[in-house]
Amino acid sequence: MSEAVVTSTVNHQFRLASRPVGMVTRDDWEYTTEPVPTPGEGEFLVQNLYISLDPAMRGWMNEGRSYVPPVGIGEVMRALAAGRVIESEHSGFEGGDTVIGTFGVQEYAVSNGAMVMKVDPELAPLPVYLGTLGITGLTAYFGLLDVGALKEGETVVVSGAAGAVGMVAGQIAKIKGCKVVGIAGGPEKCEFIRTELGFDAAIDYKSDDIRAALKEHAPKGVDVYFDNVGGEILDTVLTRLARHARIVICGAISQYNNDGPMRGPSNYMSLLVNRARMEGFVVFDYADRYLEAIIEMAGWMNAGKLKTREDIVEGLDNFPETLLKLFRGENTGKLVLQVASE
Amino acid sequence: MSEAVVTSTVNHQFRLASRPVGMVTRDDWEYTTEPVPTPGEGEFLVQNLYISLDPAMRGWMNEGRSYVPPVGIGEVMRALAAGRVIESEHSGFEGGDTVIGTFGVQEYAVSNGAMVMKVDPELAPLPVYLGTLGITGLTAYFGLLDVGALKEGETVVVSGAAGAVGMVAGQIAKIKGCKVVGIAGGPEKCEFIRTELGFDAAIDYKSDDIRAALKEHAPKGVDVYFDNVGGEILDTVLTRLARHARIVICGAISQYNNDGPMRGPSNYMSLLVNRARMEGFVVFDYADRYLEAIIEMAGWMNAGKLKTREDIVEGLDNFPETLLKLFRGENTGKLVLQVASE
């Protein structure tokens, strides 16, 4: 690894300028320029290389109670990132270390090391640590296996199936001996999950009749539905549950940019008829099991059973527009913004 | 017990004339008169004394898949009833036996004894066997203890709290050492659940701000929500969940007479934030545990810990109008139609 050097004296940042109503717009962001900060005692300076773009970011922009506090107006937008330590006054980190942490949508950050993980870029490309071997993959892993209580031979449906979490969830379900049906938008994504990832079937929500396709591909009903999207797709899957089905509520990306209330699942009484449950989770609760999960997933990756895909866009300036790719369903795999070259 | 005799030669019945759209109307019923049927070999004739009126009946009137098949057009309306055996060609039943079964909304029924239970009217009044010591009470029992996985010291909220299931659910939660908040409509019902049943607090959904009242009475959040009503109340309770809360979906009476789609719970993403679940159940799945539950509940009744209330309306003719009391929230306790004197 090359010796790390400060390559700039200025730090560009995206700060939250206003709380969006409906879809996020460019005006909700303020682009700021500051001097690169200097780490104090017990701190280090990190240069961000890759910034993780996640649907959850939309929730952090809203006011009000959630599983983490909202980003304050005027604050640098919260984001997970992979970076390199440039300068350290922290005994646990030294220049050149590659680290993952909540470093924000900016070029440089100062950290005290809390919740920062050192990673080895020789073992996996850095964007993978933000995706399949990071919080994204862990979300799929614990959501499916723990909340979904997946059992071999069951029929699993995953929405947002070509997205960062969905692609991992579907592959884990295959590894566990399930029949896996993915729901994704457009022929390329459907081809990707079927051919490259080995899903048993793909439903294109943009062109297929989802209910009819579920009847065809899940004729005995859906045992586990891993939901990333909410809205109409959730409502449709509710009509096709098997008895004792589990719906894992991982996200509801179709609803995050509503300017009115979220659409609730009108067909939720299917939970009663089918003795089924719908359950939410937050991956952070599994922190004490991250290591075991990552080791298992890394093993699957090495064995070629778990494939990964990243959608990398370059340039910090492109952050506002790139984030919208998530809500427009334009990314395949983990969406990452590269803000400096390795 | 007096010797049973046939007191009439005609059998009056309510049959389903059409599938209601929205609220049930008188025109959805056909009132028919037939000769009292004669039991064949292996059958018996029962005279209905009390007919159970239940919110679930509204669902049975709809076409389409549910946990039981719909009532067919022209068929006698399905209903649980308590009656007396008048004439028997069945080795297991004899004249004078008091029985509970699905005898329908009519004066007389012939049964082959399937799913019929003999009960002792000396131990409890017959309407109680349709209510607190019947399917209604069992629904509360298994819903709360099994699906709700209730634990001592938790805060439990029950909607439809002065109704047949709700009043039992709340009292069981009290017996199990929980703090119990009931939601009911109007001052009489609130007074009933607080004073007579011993709930810790009552919220009048017709006049109180439910969200504010939940903040007051469940300041640490709701651990278990036993939902009989759905709609806006469910959505409001979702905003006040404690972490790892369980929502037991028992019914959604506020939505059964919608002429459009049901209202789904817009705030369901609170399940994610609070790592909570929403789960449905059907009491029939617990048939092999009915006896243990009834013995336990009868013990609580004898000990004065579990009180019961029946709302008894007389006259088979009054069936259509009386059923509407359920949907208008006009009954307190178990609604029963008395169709003959004991």
Tens digits of residue pLDDT in B159-217: 999 999 999 999 999 999 999 999 999 999 999 999 999 999 999 999 999 999 999 99
Cα(first)–Cα(last) distance of chain A, in Å? Answer: 10
| Alpha carbons B64 and A75: distance in angstroms, whole number | 53
Name the nearest CA neighbour of B171 among B291, B293, B305, B299.
B305
Ordered by start, the domain boundaries in chain A are 10-131+309-338, 135-284
Q: How many CA atoms lie within 13 A of B1 on its CB side?
A: 15
Residue to test with chain B: of A279, A283, A284, A286, most B Cβ within 10 A? A279
Tell me, yes or no, if B342 comes closer than 8 A to chain A by beta carbon.
no
Name the DSSP class of A147: I
Pull the structure tokens for residue B334: 């178990």
| Alpha carbons A184 and A165: distance in angstroms, whole number | 12
Q: Give the one of B67, B272, B273 whose C-beta lies nearest to A273's C-beta.
A: B67
B285-323 burial code (b ≥16 CB/10 A, e <16)? ebeeebeebbeebbebbeeeebbbbbbebeebeebbebb
Residue to test with chain B: of A247, A259, A277, most B Cβ within 10 A? A277
Three-state secondary structure of B106-165 = ECEEEECCCCCEECCCCCCCHHHHHCCCCHHHHHHHHHHHHHCCCCCCCEEEEECCCEHH
Residues β-bridged to residue B270:
none
Number of helices and strands in chain A (H, E)? 10, 15
Fold topology of A10-131+309-338: Quinone Oxidoreductase; Chain A, domain 1 (3.90.180)
Domain A135-284: homologous superfamily in CATH: NAD(P)-binding Rossmann-like Domain (3.40.50.720)
Q: Which chain A residues have a beta carbon less than 8 Å from that of B249?
A: 268-269, 271-272
Cβ atoms of B326 and B253 within 8 Å: the answer is yes
Mapped onto helix, strand or coil, the DSSP state of residue A283 is: helix
Name the nearest CA neighbour of A102 among A67, A73, A140, A76.
A76
Tell me, yes or no, if B268 comes closer than 8 A to chain A by beta carbon.
yes
Name the DSSP class of A34: E
| B10-130+309-338: CATH number | 3.90.180.10
Cβ atoms of B194 and B262 within 8 Å: the answer is no
Q: Is A69 exposed, middle or buried (0-12, 13-18, 19+ CB in 10 A)?
A: exposed
| Alpha carbons B135 and B287: distance in angstroms, whole number | 10
**pLDDT value of residue B24:** 96
The backbone torsions φ and ψ at residue B11, rounded to the nearest 5 degrees and listed phi first, read: -120, 115
Helix, strand, coil percentages for chain B (3-state, nearest 5):
30, 25, 45
In angstroms, what is the C-alpha Rg of chain A?
20
Angle in degrees, CA B137, B143, B147, rounded to 5: 160
Which positions of chain B have pLDDT values less than 70?
1-7
| Alpha carbons A111 and A88: distance in angstroms, whole number | 10
Cβ atoms of A261 and A291 within 8 Å: the answer is no
- Furthest-apart CA pair in chain A: how many Å? 63
| B135-284 and B10-130+309-338 share a CATH fold | no
Residue to test with chain B: of A278, A281, A284, A285, most B Cβ within 10 A? A278
Q: Is B199 exposed, middle or buried (0-12, 13-18, 19+ CB in 10 A)?
A: buried
Who's near A317: CB < 8 A, 6+ residues apart?
A12, A31
**pLDDT value of residue B227:** 98
Name the nearest CA neighbour of B334 among B79, B143, B190, B127.
B127
Which positions of chain A have pLDDT values less than 70?
1-7
Cβ atoms of B84 and B46 within 8 Å: the answer is yes
What tens digit of pLDDT does each residue of B275-308 get? 999 999 999 999 999 999 999 999 999 999 999 9
- Furthest-apart CA pair in chain B: how many Å? 63
Structure ipTM: 0.91
**pLDDT value of residue A9:** 87
Residue A166 host element (H or E): helix A164-175
**How many angstroms separate the CA of residue A148 from the nearest CA in chain B?**
11
Name the nearest CA neighbour of A164 among A251, A96, A271.
A251
- Counting residues of chain B whose pLDDT is more than 70, the rounded percentage is 98
Sole residue written with tokens 């300017």:
A259
Mapped onto helix, strand or coil, the DSSP state of residue B283 is: helix
Cβ atoms of B101 and B115 within 8 Å: the answer is yes
**pLDDT value of residue A6:** 57
What tens digit of pLDDT does each residue of A43-98 get? 999 999 999 999 999 999 999 878 889 999 999 999 999 999 999 999 999 999 99
Q: Which chain B residues have a beta carbon less than 8 Å from that of A226?
A: none
Cβ atoms of B235 and B267 within 8 Å: the answer is yes
Residue A188 host element (H or E): helix A187-191
| Alpha carbons B5 and B321: distance in angstroms, whole number | 30
Q: Is B120 exposed, middle or buried (0-12, 13-18, 19+ CB in 10 A)?
A: exposed
- Pairwise CB contact (< 8 Å): B280 & A285: no
Q: How many CA atoms lie within 13 A of A323 on its CB side?
A: 25
**pLDDT value of residue A2:** 44
Name the DSSP class of A268: G
The β-bridge relationship of strands A155-159 and A222-227 is: parallel
**Alpha helices for chain B (secondary structure H):** 56-60, 126-130, 135-142, 164-175, 187-191, 210-217, 231-238, 270-273, 290-302, 319-327
**pLDDT value of residue A296:** 96
**pLDDT value of residue B7:** 64
Mapped onto helix, strand or coil, the DSSP state of residue B182 is: strand
- Pairwise CB contact (< 8 Å): B269 & A250: no
Sequence-ordered strand ranges (E) for A53-162: 81-88, 98-101, 108-111, 117-118, 155-159
Q: Which chain B residues have a beta carbon less than 8 Å from that of A263?
A: 264, 266
**pLDDT value of residue B4:** 52
| Alpha carbons B316 and B322: distance in angstroms, whole number | 10
Q: Which chain A residues have a beta carbon less than 8 Å from that of B274?
A: 280
